[in-house]
Amino acid sequence: MFEFCEDPSTLETFRWFSCYLTNGVHFRFYQSFLTVLFLLAVTAPVALSFGFLGAMASRSHIPPLRWLGKIYTAMVRGVPDIAFFLFFVIALDQGLEWLKHQAVCPDWTDPIRQGANFLVCDAAKIPQNASPQWVHEAYNFAIAVFTFSIVFGAFAANVLFGAMRAVPRAQLETAEAYGMSRRQTFWRILVPQMWIYALPGLSNLWMILIKATPLLFLLGVEDIVYWARELGGSRTSAFQYPHGDWRLWYFLGLLVFYLAMTRVSEIALGRLTTRLSRGQATMAGEDQRKVAA
């Protein structure tokens, strides 16, 4: 990074650290923070849409659709996150490969399961063996995002289902009195008003999602926990920057990062609550009306 980093063993403390903290491994550590933020940025909207679909299905008048919605929320909510993560990632990966295998290698005669091995034909490997490493990493990451979304979507579905029922019945009756159809009532009256009732539940979910991101580590994605442990481990002088066991400091850094994330989220969610309370028949909405009046 800097010219004076040629021979770190001769540097005084400040310069040593400025070289140490800007070497190649540390840049990969910093990148992993972006991975976590990216995971949050993608998972939150995807999980919310899964939740919305789940909630819509759960209150559907068509029984099979309703059962589907109920089963989805009940099943995912009832299984511990980690068990679901470990199971689903392998199942999804093998399921996709199996489907592709059926499609591209219909003439394959060997069994796919040979003892401990799960073997599909080479053309059906996802991703292809010859693909560059980043494709493999992006694929793993995409599966992780999908799994997170399924899990958090189930929780969100339950929150939104409750929020939809919390909108005052009088509002919907008025809509019906105006001659709106079921669909119109849902989209024009129910959905815009339900968010304020969903927000406490959803903001809880967001906080849990932030804290669940280290599960990426379990799924084999090199996230901040992986790098903190890797970089914090003691180094002999075979390395350019030898040091003792510094895991404590690296994990302390993660702690600060997560606390900062939580604080920023609290501020943002607080503002959102104020915004969504406007004109609502809730206590917060009523207070806003009195201040304005």
Partner 1 sequence: MKTLILSATILAVTAGGALAQDVVRMGTEGAYPPYNFINDDGEIDGFERAVGDELCARAELTCEWVTNEWDSIIPNLTSGNYDTIIAGMSITAERDEVIDFTQNYFPPASSLFMGMDEDVDLTSVVVAAQTNTIQAGYIAESGATLLEFATPDETVAAVRNGEADAVFADGDFLLPIAAEDSDLMIIGDPVQLGGGIGLGLRETDTELRETLNVAIQSMKDDGSLNALIIEWFGEDAETF
Interacting positions 218-237 with partner 1 (CB under 8 A):
220, 222, 229-230, 233-234, 236-237
Q: What are phi and psi of 154, to 5 degrees?
A: -65, -40
Residue 105 binds partner 1, judged by CB under 8 A = no
DSSP alpha helix (H) spans, 4-120: 13-20, 24-58, 63-78, 81-104
Separation between Cα atoms, residue 250 and residue 60, nearest integer Å: 49
The minimum distance between CB 47 and partner 1, in angstroms, equals 17
The minimum distance between CB 157 and partner 1, in angstroms, equals 25
Residue 187 binds partner 1, judged by CB under 8 A = no
Task: Kindly tell me the burial class for residue 45, based on how many C-beta atoms sit within 10 Å of its own C-beta (0-12, 13-18, 19 or more).
Answer: exposed
The residue from 62, 177, 238, 292 that contacts partner 1 (CB under 8 A) is 238
Tokens of 221: 């994605």
- b/e 258-271 (16+ beta carbons within 10 angstroms → b): beebeeebeeebee
Alpha carbon 45 to its chain's center: 9
The residue from 71, 87, 99, 127 that contacts partner 1 (CB under 8 A) is 127
The residue from 100, 180, 201, 261 that contacts partner 1 (CB under 8 A) is 100
Tokens of 153: 């979507």
* CA distances from residue 52 to 84, 232, 249, 265, 285 in whole angstroms, order as listed: 21, 42, 41, 22, 24
The minimum distance between CB 148 and partner 1, in angstroms, equals 15
Residue 291 binds partner 1, judged by CB under 8 A = no
- Confirm if 58 and 66 have CB atoms less than 8 A apart: yes
Q: In this chain, which stretch among 73-81, 164-172, 240-248, 284-292 interacts with partner 1, using CB under 8 A?
A: 240-248
Helix, strand or coil, per DSSP, at residue 121: coil
2 versus 187: smaller Cβ distance to partner 1: 2
The residue from 18, 23, 273, 282 that contacts partner 1 (CB under 8 A) is 23
Q: Count the site residues for partner 1 by CB under 8 A.
A: 50
Residue 14 binds partner 1, judged by CB under 8 A = no
Question: Which residues make up the interface to partner 1 (CB under 8 A)?
Answer: 23-25, 27-28, 38, 90, 94, 100, 104, 114-120, 122-136, 138-139, 142, 220, 222, 229-230, 233-234, 236-242, 245, 247
